[in-house]
Structure 1
Amino acid sequence: MADIRGAVDEASGTPKSPAGTVRLNMPKIAALMLASRLSRFAREHSSIRVELTTDDGFTDIVAGGFDAGVRLGEHLQGDMIAVRITPDLRCAIVGAPAYFAAHRPPRTPQELDGHACINYRFSYSGALYRWPFAHGGRSLDVAVEGVLTLDDADLVVAAALHGAGLACTLEERVAEHLNSGRLVRVLDDWCQPFSGFHLYYPGRRQLPLPLQTLVEFLRSKTATQVGQLGM
Structure 2
Amino acid sequence: MTINKLDDLQVFLAIAEAGSFVKAAAKLGLSASALSHKMRGLEERLGLRLLARTTRNVSPTEAGERLITSLQPLFQRINQEVDALGELRDTPAGTLRISCTDDQIELCIRPKLNKFLRSYPDITVEFYVDYGFSNVVTERFDAGIRLGEAISQDMIAIPVGPEIRLVVVGSPAYLQANGMPQTPYELTSYDCIDIRHKPNGNIYAWEFEENGKEFTVRGQGQLVFNSTMHVLNAAVDGIGLAYVPEPLAEPYVAQGKLIKVLTDWSNYFPGFHLYYPNRRQNSPAFKAFVDAFRYQHETD
Greater Cα offset, 149-158 or 65-74 = 149-158
Cα distance between partner residues in 2 of 1:60 and 1:171: 27
User: Comparing 187-196 with 146-155, which one deviates more in the overlay?
Assistant: 146-155
Looking at structure 2, the residues matched to 41 and 7 of structure 1 have their Cα atoms a distance apart, in angstroms, of: 20
Aligned residue for 1:56? 131
Spell out, residue by residue over 1:33-70, the C-alpha distance to the aligned partner (whole angstroms, 9 max, x if none). 21121221112222222222222221222222211111
- Unpaired segments ≥5 residues, structure 1: none
The alpha carbon displacement at 1:8 in A equals 7.0
CA–CA distance in structure 2, aligned partners of residues 154 and 205 of structure 1: 31
- Give the match for residue 3 of structure 1: 80
1:147 alignment partner AA: Q
Q: Which residue of 2 aligns with 1:95?
A: 170
2:253 partner SS: helix
Partner of 2:189: 114
Map Cα deviations across residues 61-117 of structure 1 (whole Å, 9 max, x no partner): 222221111111122123211111110111120111121122221111112132222
Partner amino acid, structure 2, of 1:56: Y
8 Å CA contact 1:2–1:208 kept in 2: the answer is: no
1:19 to 1:133, Cα distance in 2 relative to 1, 3 A:
same
Q: Which residue number corresponds to residue 217 of structure 2?
A: 142
Are residues 1:18 and 2:87 paired? no
Q: TM-score, normalised by structure 1?
A: 0.86
- Partner SS state of residue 101, structure 1: helix
| Worse overlay, 142-151 or 86-95 | 142-151
Q: Compare 180-189 and 137-146 and name the one that shifted more.
A: 137-146
C-alpha change, 1:218 and 1:158, in structure 2 (3 Å) is closer
Q: Quick one: distance in 2 between partners of 1:152 and 1:70?
A: 15
> Corresponding residue for 1:227?
298
- Give the TM-score normalised by structure 2: 0.67
Cα contact 1:58–1:124 (8 A) shared by 2: no
Equivalence for 2:239: 164
Q: What do you get for the CA RMSD once the two structures are aligned?
A: 2.3
Query: Percent identity over the alignment?
Result: 36
| Equivalent of 1:39 in 99, 114, 122 | 114
The CA distance in 2 between the partners of 1:197 and 1:28, in whole Å, is: 12
On the 8 A contact 2:131/2:226 being kept in 1, the answer is no
Q: 1:15 to 1:150 in 2, by over 3 A?
A: closer
| Aligned amino acid, residue 26 of structure 1 | C
Structure 2 SS opposite 1:35 = helix
Name 1:217's counterpart in structure 2.
292
Is 1:29 equivalent to 2:103 in the alignment?
yes
Q: Report if the CA contact (8 A) 2:84-2:282 is conserved.
A: no
- The answer to whether the 8 Å contact 2:171/2:237 transfers is yes
Higher relative contact order (CA 8 A, sep 6+): 1
Asked if residue 71 in structure 1 is aligned to residue 121 in structure 2, the reply is no
One-letter amino acid matched to 2:220: E
Between the aligned partners of 2:152 and 2:199, the Cα distance in structure 1 is 16
Aligned-residue offset at 1:6 = 6.0
Q: 2:103 and 2:276 mapped to 1: Cα distance? A: 19
**1:124 to partner: Cα distance:** 4.7
* Alignment match of 2:259 (pick from 175, 179, 184): 184
Greater C-alpha radius of gyration:
2
Q: CA 1:151–1:36 in structure 2 vs 1: closer, same or farther (change >3 Å)?
A: closer
Q: Which runs of 5+ in 2 are unaligned?
A: 1-77
